[in-house]
Amino acid sequence: MVERFGWTERRRRLLDGLAEAIELLAEAGCRQLWLNGSFVTAKDEPGDFDACWESDGVDLDVLDPVLLDLSNQRAGQKTRFGGELFPNVVETVSGLSFAEFFQNERDSSRKGIVIIHLSKGDAS
């Protein structure tokens, strides 16, 4: 991940935040995360990252509450991790799961996203 997406200082800081979020999700039993947004493009200085995570099998009692706090345009997540992380539920406007929604461009064309498989103790 660092080699592919961490070619600037800004990108490495975002990767550090993403790694922290991945560790917290993995500890709660999350098995998969989808990464999206300008972070997974060639943009040198992305503003943040966008991600969604598989909620099946996640122990919500173990999960850090900030990962469920979608209030105030996810301000708590942006401050702590540098990006936004949604559970992979249905996005209300489109009716699609976030993982599916992330694969659609605004002009209705399709785009790729990065899928990260998680395991406990592995945030790399």
pTM above 0.85, yes or no: yes
| Token pair listed for 18 | 């993403």
Query: What are the residue boundaries of the structural domains of the chain, listed by start?
Result: 2-117
Residue 97 phi, psi dihedral angles, 5° rounding? -65, 155
* Residue that the structure tokens 């060639």 belong to: 42
Q: What is the pLDDT of residues 40-88, one digit of tens each?
A: 888 899 999 999 999 999 999 999 999 999 999 999 999 999 999 999 9
Give residue 86's pLDDT: 94
Q: In this structure, are strands 32-36 and 114-117 parallel, antiparallel, or unpaired?
A: antiparallel
With beta carbons less than 8 A apart as the criterion, state whether 31 and 55 touch.
Answer: no
> Could you give the CA distance from residue 43 to residue 80 in angstroms, rounded to a whole number?
22
The strand order across the sheet containing 83-87 reads 83-87, 49-53, 32-36, 114-117
Looking at this protein, which amino acid is placed at residue 4? R
